[in-house]
Amino acid sequence: MTPQEEVERLIARVAMGDRAAFTKLYDRTSAKLFGVCLRVLNDRAEAEEVLQEVFVTVWNKADTYRVNGYSPMTWLITITRNRAVDRRRALKRPPEPIDTADLLPDGKPGPEASAVAASDARRITQCLDELPRARAHLVRRAYLDGDSYADLAEATGVNLNTIRTWLRRSLIALRECLSR
Amino acid sequence: MSDKTNPPEGPEEDEPRVLAAEYALGLLPNDERVAFEARMAEDQALRDEVAAWDATFAELIDDVEEVPPSPQLRKRLEARLFGARRPSIWQQVWPYAVGGIAAAVVLWFAATSGVLVTDDEAVRADLVAELAATPDGDGLDLRANVDTTRGAVQVLRSAGDPPEGRVFELWLIAGNNAPVSLGLLDGDGDTVIDLPQDLLASLPGAVLAISDEPPGGSPTGAPTGAVRAAGPLTAS
């Protein structure tokens, strides 16, 4: 059984109210999901609070995730990431600054990025590496750190509308690359 | 800083796929998010587009370091999900009600064959209960002798103490009735408690149980702490 299949089987049993399966699911996935919370919130106590809410949701909603066509890990990661981002925004944490030197679009992926892309089977990283490095960085910040447009504008000192235009163009390019 | 941006310009303006990506990232300003959710509710293709972006972005999580949460978190979570409802007093005592009958038979044999002599002359037991420790009982060893003529119960404790800052309370559970408090056990040794007249008729076959409670006894009139020992009253 692949890890993916195992998580899927555990969620199916959790949906039937199986507490032992819930404990196993927690043991199998909590370190990964806690890492996600910690990355967004950068605060152990807040991250644990969010992780607890996530698993309460998992216990209560395990029977519904399939309806929306999510794989089990995508479902768990998406709930966790979105809850952590909601929490971060409620706390109004200021964004980490982004060095403006990093933002000058050089038009090409750096040689480093290309080497990484060659050894990385993930479509998202391959396609991000086709973007100018600074633009790819903004997409990563938006997803992994949960920065809003306002956060990214504050972090870079770039005008809000410019940031949005950059992001949208990057997303269009990503979408095009992903569908190739 | 406001989250408000000018409406997007250019050919991508009505590109629902870009809106789906912005939605998945949580980037849409509030009014646009609400409008997009309304569209999504009607449009399976849009929902699929969002799900596809969620799956794609989730691959980035491989780069995030795994960090185990503190071990207490799992306990807090399990307590929150599964520990909220303490099992009913009957769920807690019924195994002891069954097991107690066998013990009572042994006790009856011991009493009638003269092996056992009641050590308190004042209480002439016509009903007895062996109170077996529950999993929370932690080595408790208790026996109760009831003198229905005198209307008193004597509880003999040969082992086990209440947790720090708690006291033991004795309960009578007759049939399906709610537990009735009979009183608190003395700090150590034996306790004799007078029984209300109206309870005497319900004693045979009833279950005696011990819970731990705050000093002064249960504030609610019903057991609030864990049941630590229980057993049925049978004729001696």
ipTM score here? 0.90
**Nearest by CB: B2 against A144, A150, A165:** A150
- The amino acid sitting at B88 is S
Lowest mean pLDDT among A32-41, B16-25, B139-148: B139-148
Domain final residue, candidates A91, A118, A138? A91
Residues B56 and B142 in one domain: no
B149 versus A162: the higher-pLDDT residue is A162
Q: Are residues B173 and B129 in the same domain?
A: yes
What mean pLDDT do residues B38-45 have? 92
Query: Above 70 in pLDDT, residue B110?
Result: no
CB of A124 within 8 Å of a chain B CB? The answer is yes
Reply yes or no on whether the pLDDT at A56 is more than 60.
Answer: yes
Chain B partners within 8 Å of A77 (Cβ): 58, 61
Residues of A in contact with B43 (CB under 8 A): none
For residues A53 and B174, the model is more confident at A53
- CATH, residue A136: 1.10.10.10
Please, are residues B229 and B133 in contact by the beta-carbon 8 Å criterion? yes
Sign of the Cα pseudo-torsion (A137, A139, A142, A145, in order) = negative
Same domain flag for A53 and A112: no
Choose between A39 and B230: higher pLDDT.
A39
Of A34, A56, A160, the CB nearest to B5: A160
The predicted pLDDT at position B165 comes to 84
How many domains are there within chain A? 2
Domain boundary among the residues A42, A59, A91 is at A91
**CB contacts, 8 Å: B84 with chain A:** none
User: Are the beta carbons of B166 and B150 closer than 8 angstroms?
Assistant: no
Q: What is the mean pLDDT of residues B2-10?
A: 51
pLDDT at B98: 61
Per-chain mean pLDDT for chain B: 80
Strongest mean pLDDT among A57-66, B30-39, B189-198, B211-220 = B30-39
Say what the pLDDT of residue B12 is. 47
Residue B64: pLDDT band (50, 70, 90) is very high
Give me the long-range contacts of A159-167 (CB less than 8 A, separation at least 24): A160/B1, A160/B2, A160/B4, A160/B5, A161/B5, A161/B6, A163/A138, A164/B5, A164/B8, A164/B27, A165/B8, A165/B9, A166/A135, A166/A138, A167/A135, A167/A138, A167/A139, A167/A142, A167/B22, A167/B27
CA distance A110 to chain B (A): 19
Look over chain A and give the mean of its residue pLDDT values, rounded to a whole number: 87
Looking at the domain assignment, is residue B52 inside a domain?
yes
Would you say residue A22 has pLDDT above 50? Answer: yes
| pLDDT above 90: residue B207 | no
Return the top range by mean pLDDT from A38-52, A66-80, B126-140: A38-52
In this prediction the pTM is: 0.60
The domain boundary, picked from A32, A66, A91, lies at A91
pLDDT at B91 over 70: no
**Residues B179, B209 share a domain:** yes
**Which of B2, B3, B5 would best serve as a mutation to test chain A binding (most A beta carbons within 10 A)?**
B5
- Chain A residue with CA closest to B20: the answer is A171
CA distance B225 to chain A (A): 24
| CB atoms near residue B59 (< 10 Å) | 17
Is a pLDDT exceeding 50 seen at residue B219?
Answer: yes
Inside any domain, residue B221 = yes
Measured distance CA(A159)–CA(A175) in Å, rounded: 24
B2 band by pLDDT with thresholds 50, 70 and 90: very low
User: Apex CA B90: angle with CA B85 and CA B94, to 5°?
Assistant: 130
* Mean pLDDT calculated for residue range B91-107: 61
Residue range B214-218: average pLDDT?
A: 85
Contact: A59, B18; criterion CB under 8 Å:
no
Lowest mean pLDDT among A109-113, A126-130, B222-226: A109-113
**Are residues A105 and A87 part of one domain?**
no
In chain A, whose CA is at the least distance from the CA of B81?
A56
**Residues B58 and B95 reside in one and the same domain:** no
Instruction: Kindly give, in sequence order, each residue whose CB lies less than 8 Å from that of residue A99, ignoring residues fewer than 6 positions away.
Output: none
Q: Do A164 and B8 touch (CB under 8 A)?
A: yes
Local structure of B229: helix, strand or coil: strand
Write down the pLDDT at residue A140. 95
Q: Which two structure tokens, joined as six digits, stand for B134?
A: 């529950």
- Name the more confident of A117 and A15: A15
Q: Write out the residue range of the structural domain in which residue A111 sits.
A: 100-178
Q: Is residue B138 part of a domain?
A: yes
Q: Which of B63, B64, B65 to substitute to test the interface with A, most A CBs within 10 Å?
A: B64
The domain of B212 spans 89-235
B14 interfaces chain A, CB cutoff of 8 Å? no
Distance CA B93, CA B206 (A): 11
Domain count, chain B: 2
